[in-house]
Amino acid sequence: MPRTIETRAPQTETAPANSRRKFLLLLPYAILAGMTATIATAAFRFLRPMSAEAATPGWTDVAPVASITGDKPIMRSILVEHNAGWSSKFEEHLVYVLPQHERQVLTAACPHEGCNVSWREDQNTFACPCHESYFAPDGARINGPARRGLDPLPTREANGVLQVQFRSYENNTAERVVRG
Amino acid sequence: MVQEKRLARAQAIESQPAPRTTLALMTGMLFDVEPRSRLEAWTRTTAGAVWLLLALQFVTGTLLAFYYVPSTESAHTTVAYIEKVLPAGSWLRALHHYGSQWLTLFLVLHLAQLFWRTAYKRRPVAWTACILLLLLVFANGATGYSLPWDARAFFGTRVAEGLAGGLPLAGSLARRWLLGGVEISALTLMRFYAMHLLVVPALILFTTIARLFIFRERETNDAAPDEAEVETTHAQPRNEWRREQATRQFISAGLVFLALAIYATKFYAPLGPSAEAVSPDYLPRPGLQFLWLFQMLKYLPGRPGSVIALGFPGLFFACLLALPLLDSLHKIKLLDHPGRKLGATLLSLSLIFFALMTALAYIGDRRDPRIRAQLSRQADEEKTFRAQPFEPLRLRSGEADDETSPPPTRAAGNGEIANSSSSNSNAPAVAGPIKTSSAPDAYLKNCANCHGTRGQGFSIFPKLTGVSSKPHRTVEDLIAILDDPTAYGLKPPMKSFADKLTPEEKRQISEWVASLKKGKQ
């Protein structure tokens, strides 16, 4: 409070006045710390990245269940809505539906460095064009630099349509870790 | 006599304990004249408030810059995101918004305080720096006004444009330089953004650094008690008053901060609906620190309006800047205290003018029932807009979607899937929810994994759309590339398809790729 400060009266120092002065001299630090803490708290809350849960996209249509037949993986391109703060954007991702494996859906992204793998019909394998990783028709790793098989995505059926919840996984890990 | 005094002074300085920390050194620099009265000690704390508000503008501005995007499409959405979604966002923005108005106010108070202490005479650098800061803060208020890109911002930009355009001789040139063209556009917003975030803050920083460390003047005041004497008689308490003054500055700054922080929780920084949704009967009203200019323009139509509106404050500031010069006239006995008289007249007249204009603007709006009704309607619109949930901006994802096929809404379940009939059980079929032009099967099998089902490219793999408009990319060239990409300077992972495709397939692929138009399929 403004009125509590006295300008120094010389040669009349008493013990209580001295301790009050010491307190007053510490006041700037207290004020500075208070202001900094207030702003820092707000800044922390303001800048904290959104949680991985909030970033998880919803369900995207892949194909009518009736059309998923045959003995070969079926490649589909899906548009996934990605929400990032103030923007939302549809991004294209490639997936493979496996009619022979309970309509499991694999992401086409190679678990090595994320290139899109392609289905080699003559060799009956998935092959990555970038660093030559090979995967079995069910997505299991055969050989190459990839450390795990192709990544399956959560699926569900709604009104006869196969839907998928797209997600990205960490590259280059033996365990499957959802990015985020 | 003079020599003796110097000697005493030198001895006194030697006997002083050297400042042990940089902080002590800084305090010594910042507070170099002992206040003569308690009133003076407290009025001098306007400096602390200005320091605090300046620092706060830098901090809050930096935080806002983490989310703001200066494009006409996204600016308003990002500001709405800060206001509606981000924790503490509306508070930080209100601090920034009202902080700039308070900064203007405290700079004026500081200026008046410096004038009262005749600082223009004794410390021309401090005086000049304060006026420059006031000008720069006005400039940043004007440029920052446009950034939220709501109706208010749009009309603020309009007014700035009109003022610049009305300047004599170079009016249309100034206008075009300000707008970055002949119309208000995305370029205008970028210009205001760069000025607001880079140019003006840099000038503010330079001004403060120059005032503190480069052109800092030691006070030489005849009226002040001789420093050497003070030091020799009681050397110990020399730093006491400095510390007390520092405490006062901090108390003052802390109180201003507290008041502003509470104010910012009570009042939102204004944000209306986007500039695109402006109704034709919108009535723009500027911020408090520009209300006088707004009122002045009512009386001054047309070109003379801008000349006077810009010339009058220009003249005012020029006079204030010239006060130290005028004062030197006094020193050579030409005039009797011209600085004091002129400055006092100018300051009081402009204060009266400012108050009068602001009051007139306010009364004018209150008097007219139609204006009052429209303004309250706008306030309601702002309130409604604020209450609406945040609507994210839907970005077009590169070339994946075009006008004719908007992306599907998130799975409703009834399977709105185009091309589903084309999925063939024998071959890996490629079909997205988007209608694709008929890419040849050979392309889908061999090329689509990397270049995309519609030639849109992916990650490091280049897009093929519009490739035929480049040199050496005719259909024949494309066929040759498929046979031997290295001959065309292409690097792996692009490989040769010479033995993987039949000549017929190569021609099909090349013709289809050559037919892909840029931006559309």
- Smallest CA–CA distance from B236 into chain A, residue: A10
Cβ atoms A73, B428 nearer than 8 A: yes
For B501, the token pair is 């495709």
The shortest CB-CB distance from B42 to any of A2, A46, A159 is to A2
Nearest CA-CA partner of B118 in B239, B27, B7, B222: B222
Cβ atoms B207, B200 nearer than 8 A: no
Which residues does chain A have within 8 Å of residue B87's beta carbon, measured at their own beta carbons? 45-46, 48
- Whether the CA torsion B166, B167, B168, B173 is positive or negative: it is negative
Which residues does chain A have within 8 Å of residue B250's beta carbon, measured at their own beta carbons? 27-28, 31-32
Which residues does chain A have within 8 Å of residue B410's beta carbon, measured at their own beta carbons? 58-60, 81
Question: Where residue A150 falls among pLDDT bands split at 50, 70, 90?
Answer: very high
- CB atoms < 10 A from the CB of B147, how many? 22
Calculate mean pLDDT across residues A121-146: 90
Is pLDDT at B109 greater than 60 in this prediction? yes
Q: By percentage, how much of chain B surpasses pLDDT 90?
A: 24
- A8 and B85: CB-CB below 8 Å? no
**Can you give the pLDDT at residue B433?**
40
Q: pLDDT tens digits for B33-71?
A: 778 888 888 988 899 999 999 999 999 999 999 999 999
State the Cα–Cα distance between residues A164 and A155, nearest whole angstrom. 4
Question: Where residue B2 falls among pLDDT bands split at 50, 70, 90?
Answer: low
- B407 and A38: CB-CB below 8 Å? no
State the Cα–Cα distance between residues A58 and A164, nearest whole angstrom. 8
Query: Does residue A76 sit in helix, strand or coil?
Result: strand
Which residues does chain B have within 8 Å of residue A24's beta carbon, measured at their own beta carbons? 244, 247
- CB atoms < 10 A from the CB of B310, how many? 15
The shortest CB-CB distance from B432 to any of A86, A92, A118 is to A92
Mutate to test the interface with B, among A90, A120, A122 (most CBs of B within 10 A): A90
- B247 and A94: CB-CB below 8 Å? no
Q: What is the mean pLDDT of chain B?
A: 78
**Can you give the pLDDT at residue A32?**
92
Which residues does chain A have within 8 Å of residue B253's beta carbon, measured at their own beta carbons? 31, 35
Cβ burial, residue A14 (10 Å; 0-12/13-18/19+): exposed
Judged by average pLDDT, the poorest of A33-42, A98-107, B85-94 is A98-107
Is pLDDT at B428 greater than 50 in this prediction? no
**Can you give the pLDDT at residue B332?**
63
For chains A and B, count residue pairs whose Cβ atoms are closer than 8 Å: 197
Nearest CA-CA partner of A75 in A48, A94, A47, A93: A94
Which residues does chain B have within 8 Å of residue A160's beta carbon, measured at their own beta carbons? 415
**Can you give the pLDDT at residue B429?**
39
User: In Å, how far are A79, B53, B334 from B409, measured between CA atoms?
Assistant: 10, 47, 81
Is pLDDT at B410 greater than 50 in this prediction? no
Q: pLDDT tens digits for B286-340?
A: 877 788 888 888 887 767 777 877 788 888 888 888 888 777 776 666 556 666 7
B404 DSSP assignment: T
Helix axes B75-84, B89-116, angle to 10 degrees: 100
Interface of A with B in 28-67 (CB under 8 A): 28, 31-32, 34-35, 38-39, 41-43, 45-48, 58-61, 63-64, 67
Judged by average pLDDT, the poorest of B203-217, B378-392, B410-424 is B410-424
Model pTM score: 0.72
Which residues does chain B have within 8 Å of residue A35's beta carbon, measured at their own beta carbons? 52, 253-254, 257
CA distance B291 to chain A (A): 30
- CB atoms < 10 A from the CB of B266, how many? 7
- Helix%, strand%, coil% for chain A, nearest 5: 25, 35, 45
State the Cα–Cα distance between residues B181 and B185, nearest whole angstrom. 8
For chain A, the straight-line distance linking the first and the last C-alpha, in angstroms and rounded, comes to 49
Calculate mean pLDDT across residues A60-80: 87
Cβ burial, residue A128 (10 Å; 0-12/13-18/19+): buried
Q: Are strands A141-143 and A74-84 parallel, antiparallel or unpaired?
A: unpaired
For B130, the token pair is 């304060």
Calculate mean pLDDT across residues B495-512: 83
3-state SS string for B176-245: HHHHCCCCCCHHHHHHHHHHHHHHHHHHHHHHHHHHHHHCCCCCCCCCCCCHHHHHHHCCHHHHHHHHHH
Question: Where residue B263 falls among pLDDT bands split at 50, 70, 90?
Answer: very high
**Can you give the pLDDT at residue B417?**
38
